[in-house]
């Protein structure tokens, strides 16, 4: 399997468990989204199966300027959604 696709698959596998640990928050805020992102990437990195460089390609880059505050997450005004953030948002909406 292609390394990028394998890393995306690993992220998607890790997301539901991390999201479920934060469900009591009720609303997915930007701050919580970034916290979950860090936890997901740390879990995937801990397996040692994917390089830090590869995982870095999947995360929300600072250059995209996603907020980091307590407003609810909305990607409506963003043209690009990094794979990790997209997977978290999708899982959050699915598991209610």
Integer Cα distance of 23 and 15 in angstroms: 12
Q: Which of 13, 3, 87, 66 is nearest to 44 (CA)?
A: 13
Integer Cα distance of 53 and 64 in angstroms: 18
Q: What is the pLDDT of residues 38-94, one digit of tens each?
A: 999 999 999 999 999 999 888 877 657 889 999 999 999 888 889 999 999 999 998
Q: Is the pTM of this model over 0.85?
A: yes
Integer Cα distance of 17 and 96 in angstroms: 13
Q: What is the pLDDT of residues 1-29, one digit of tens each?
A: 799 999 999 999 999 999 999 999 999 99
């Amino acid at each position: 399997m292609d390394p990028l696709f394998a890393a995306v698959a690993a992220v998607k596998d890790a997301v539901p468990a991390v999201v479920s640990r934060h469900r009591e928050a009720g609303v997915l805020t930007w701050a919580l989204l970034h916290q979950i992102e860090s936890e997901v990437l740390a879990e995937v990195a801990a397996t040692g199966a994917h390089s830090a460089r590869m995982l870095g390609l999947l995360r929300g880059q600072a250059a995209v300027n996603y907020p980091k505050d307590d407003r609810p997450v909305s990607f409506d005004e963003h043209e690009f959604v990094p794979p990790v953030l997209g997977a978290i948002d999708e899982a959050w909406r699915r598991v209610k």
